[in-house]
Structure 1
Amino acid sequence: METQIVQQLHALRELNPLVHNITNFVVMNNTANALLAVGASPVMVHAKQEVRDVVNISGALVINVGTLSEQWAEAMLIAAEHARAIGCPWVLDPVGAGISPFRNELLKELVQLGPTVIRGNASEIIALNNFSLSSSKGVDSTLPSEKAFAAGTELQKAYGAEVCISGDTDYIISSDRWVEVRNGSVLMTKVTGLGCTATALIGAFLSLRKAPFEEAVAGVSVLSLAGQLAAADAIGPGTLQWKLYDTLYRLSADELLTYLDIEQHAF
Structure 2
Amino acid sequence: MTRADSIWSDVKKIRANAPLVQNITNYVVMNNTANALLAVGASPAMVHSVDEVEEMVAFAGALVVNIGTLSRHWIDGMEMAMVKAKELGKPIVFDPVAVGATQLRNEACETLIQKAAPAIIRGNGSEILALNKAASGGKGVDSTAAAEDAVGAAQAISKEFGSVVVISGQTDFIISGDQVAKVENGTPMMTRLTGMGCTATAICGAFAAINPDSFEAAINAMYVMGICGEQALAKSTGPGSFQVAFLDALYNLTLAGIQDAL
Partner residue, 1:258: 260
d(CA) in 1 for partners of 2:16 and 2:197?
Answer: 25
Q: Note if 1:85 corresponds to 2:87.
A: yes
Partner residue, 1:226: 228
d(CA) in 2 for partners of 1:147 and 1:17?
Answer: 34
Q: Which residue type is aligned with residue 44 of structure 1?
A: M
Q: Note if 1:159 corresponds to 2:161.
A: yes
TM-aligned CA deviation for residue 210 of structure 1: 2.3
Q: Which of 92, 117, 122 matches 1:119?
A: 122
Q: Which of 209, 216, 219 matches 1:217?
A: 219
CA offsets 1:51-106 (integer angstroms, 9 cap, x no match): 00000000000000000011101000010011111101010000001011111001
User: Runs in 1 of length 4+ with deviation above 6 angstroms?
Assistant: none
Partner residue, 1:196: 198
Give the match's secondary structure for 2:97.
Answer: coil
TM-aligned CA deviation for residue 131 of structure 1: 7.1
TM-aligned CA deviation for residue 2 of structure 1: 1.9
Task: Give me the TM-score of the superposition, normalised by structure 2.
Answer: 0.97
Partner residue, 1:264: none
CA contact (8 A) 2:4 2:255 kept: no
Partner residue, 1:128: 131
Q: Note if 1:103 corresponds to 2:110.
A: no
TM-aligned CA deviation for residue 3 of structure 1: 1.3
CA contact (8 A) 1:126 1:148 kept: yes
d(CA) in 2 for partners of 1:147 and 1:168?
Answer: 12
Unaligned runs of 5+ in 2: none
CA offsets 1:125-166 (integer angstroms, 9 cap, x no match): 0000117532x2110001211111111111111111000000
Partner residue, 1:185: 187
Partner residue, 1:265: none
Partner residue, 1:50: 52
Percent sequence identity over matched residues? 47
Unaligned runs of 5+ in 1: 261-267
d(CA) in 2 for partners of 1:177 and 1:208?
Answer: 21
CA contact (8 A) 2:126 2:135 kept: no
Q: How many residues align?
A: 259
Give the match's secondary structure for 1:124.
Answer: helix
